[in-house]
Amino acid sequence: MTSDVNAGAAAKGLPRRDDFSDWYSEILWRAEIVDTRYPVKGVCVWQPFGFKMRSLIYSILRSLLDDSGHEEVLFPLLIPRSELMKEEEHIKGFEGEVFWVTRGGYEELDVPLALRPTSETAIYPMLNLWIRSHRDLPIRIYQVVNVFRYETKHTRPLIRVREITSFKEAHTAHASREDAEEQVHVAVEIYKRFFDRLAVPYIVTERPEWDKFPGAERTIAFDTLMPDGRTMQIATIHMLGDKFARTFDITFEDCDGNRKFVQQTCYGISERCVAAVIAVHGDDHGLVLPPEVAPVQVVIVPIVFSRDEMRDDVLSVCSELRDALDDANIRVVLDDSDERPGAKFYKWEMKGVPLRIEVGPRDLKTGKCVFVTRHDLNKFHVNLSTEEVVGMVRKTLARIYEEMKANAWRRFNDMIISLSAETTAASSAESDASDASSDTSASDEDVLSLIGAKMRGGIVNVFMCPKCGKALKELTGASVLGTPFDGRKKGKCVVCSQECAELYVARTY
């Protein structure tokens, strides 16, 4: 009985998700995630619905960290200039992005204070005081804070902001290099579990030398794909070795009484993880949320009009269902507002509520209600008993998550283009005709351009050495994401034939 009403539930005026940039801006305010009208460039205001979603996402992250030996801390926002400037490479990477506080009231400050762009230089002077002996190690701490970066590239809500409001940064210190390396693997596993819970697909790569975190020995990154074929870096893990330890003199006494520098790692995630959930799963009707992070998991919509004689009966059955779901710890809303059912469908579809239950007068007579799953907009009938409804809601929410994850990975894998075979052929054919003496011959450029063109469809996976990767970046504006973190495959560079690892390249956010 409800299908006619449902037909009105298209998201009028919402740009199609294919126009990703417009769709993304619209969905943020229509679904009440963030308001971007705050009068400072590159910052935004979390609205209640968006903030609830953010809290649910971060509670997954917190519990994964808490369960793997991390402890939450809170360091100050302000960092004295003298500390920030200590690590040469680090400051070289960040200097252009720092916001400074130079005055207090009417007075110039003796030491200018930086608004943290990240917290190595706030945390490590304290580790210097806290760590004395090998018994104090390992240390694994994290905080979820706001950090400030004066981004000069085009800013975009949640994706590239000047005030990152949800910066989860973890910092660890270890007695040996092996322990720190092991922690890098642990962090990768934690992040895999995190993004799996969000049903967000990813690749994990080791970033090239020129794209490492300032001051890090190695950077490993997670990237996901946006609907327009560009990648977004959603997490990074850095092996710092003893570089910062030497700068901040963080030492410990080992079992034999020798003083040694600690070995460190750090790893971070920002509100880009919220952006990823929005972008990866959304559709032409609005948000589609994995049940675990949906502020509202079930909406009950009574299909009644004011003069329906069974109106009260319908509303009372709906209330019973709402109470039963509430008791079962399912986040449920009964929308008994005066709006028409079609308007309610539109609103809750826009907000990505995973499951809608419809109950109308005819349903009471047949003893059934209608379930509509948001991710595929499919409908089915369920017996109208509170017990059966609660059981079926649980089952359906679990199924929605599994299907969303499978769909997202399928779309993701479809956008990974393996070029090894194709470009190898192109490369050898072209290089026969090329001038062997030139360093980057015309044929090399052809191969690089071919790869550049393919990248419009997503991530390209190709055997390429770092040097040719850099040439590709310069020629096509492509970004070299890096080599697969778990991969051991070796092949010949499609450009220069040198033995090398696989490389992922893409256009990036």
When asked if residue 160 is in the footprint of ligand 5CA (CB under 6 A), the reply is yes
**For 405-445, where are the E strands, in sequence order?**
416-418
Rounded to whole angstroms, the Cα distance separating 136 from 114 reads 29
SS3 for 190-235 is: HHHHHHHHCCCCCEEEECCHHHCCCCCCEEEEEEEECCCCCEEEEE
When asked if residue 6 is in the footprint of ligand 5CA (CB under 6 A), the reply is no
In angstroms and rounded to an integer, the radius of gyration of the C-alpha atoms of the chain is 27
Quote the least distance from Cβ 264 to ligand 5CA, whole Å.
Answer: 11
The residue range among 75-83, 158-166, 299-307, 381-389 that interacts with ligand 5CA, by the rule CB under 6 A, is 158-166
Of 134 and 149, the one with the shorter C-beta distance to ligand 5CA is 149
Nearest in space to 168 (alpha carbons), one of 235, 225, 91, 121: 235
Nearest in space to 117 (alpha carbons), one of 86, 147, 79, 80: 147
Structure tokens at 486: 């778990």
Pairing status of strand 231-241 against strand 218-225: antiparallel
- Cis peptide before 138, with omega less than 30 degrees from 0? yes
Quote the least distance from Cβ 237 to ligand 5CA, whole Å.
Answer: 8
The residue range among 8-16, 198-206, 230-238, 257-265 that interacts with ligand 5CA, by the rule CB under 6 A, is 230-238
Rounded to whole angstroms, the Cα distance separating 164 from 41 reads 12
Among 58, 244, 267, 485, binds ligand 5CA (CB under 6 A): 267
The residue range among 105-113, 260-268, 440-448, 489-497 that interacts with ligand 5CA, by the rule CB under 6 A, is 260-268
Longest dimension (CA), the chain: 89
Rounded to whole angstroms, the Cα distance separating 343 from 309 reads 22
Rounded to whole angstroms, the Cα distance separating 219 from 265 reads 10
Of 149 and 375, the one with the shorter C-beta distance to ligand 5CA is 149
Rounded to whole angstroms, the Cα distance separating 370 from 152 reads 50
Among 6, 224, 236, 264, binds ligand 5CA (CB under 6 A): 236
Of 200 and 450, the one with the shorter C-beta distance to ligand 5CA is 200
Quote the least distance from Cβ 118 to ligand 5CA, whole Å.
Answer: 4
Quote the least distance from Cβ 142 to ligand 5CA, whole Å.
Answer: 9
Among 54, 149, 212, 243, binds ligand 5CA (CB under 6 A): 149
When asked if residue 308 is in the footprint of ligand 5CA (CB under 6 A), the reply is no
When asked if residue 234 is in the footprint of ligand 5CA (CB under 6 A), the reply is yes
Nearest in space to 475 (alpha carbons), one of 495, 489, 459, 493: 495
Of 70 and 454, the one with the shorter C-beta distance to ligand 5CA is 70
Rounded to whole angstroms, the Cα distance separating 384 from 370 reads 9
Quote the least distance from Cβ 479 to ligand 5CA, whole Å.
Answer: 13
Residue 496: helix, strand or coil by DSSP?
Answer: coil
Among 79, 220, 235, 334, binds ligand 5CA (CB under 6 A): 235
Pairing status of strand 332-334 against strand 298-302: parallel
Quote the least distance from Cβ 159 to ligand 5CA, whole Å.
Answer: 6
Among 32, 83, 87, 169, binds ligand 5CA (CB under 6 A): 169
Q: Which of residues 106-145 bind ligand 5CA (CB under 6 A)?
A: 118, 120
**Contact criterion met (CB below 8 Å) for 245 and 262:** yes
Among 205, 231, 270, 441, binds ligand 5CA (CB under 6 A): 270
Among 57, 164, 471, 496, binds ligand 5CA (CB under 6 A): 164
When asked if residue 208 is in the footprint of ligand 5CA (CB under 6 A), the reply is no
When asked if residue 98 is in the footprint of ligand 5CA (CB under 6 A), the reply is no
Q: Which residues pair with 447 in a beta bridge?
A: none
When asked if residue 151 is in the footprint of ligand 5CA (CB under 6 A), the reply is yes
When asked if residue 213 is in the footprint of ligand 5CA (CB under 6 A), the reply is yes
Q: Which of residues 21-60 bind ligand 5CA (CB under 6 A)?
A: none
Hunting for tokens 């109470």 — which residue is that? 323
**Contact criterion met (CB below 8 Å) for 217 and 241:** yes
When asked if residue 266 is in the footprint of ligand 5CA (CB under 6 A), the reply is yes
Which one-letter DSSP state was computed for residue 464? -
Contacts with ligand 5CA by CB under 6 A lie at: 118, 120, 149, 151, 160-161, 164, 169, 213, 233-236, 238, 266-268, 270, 272
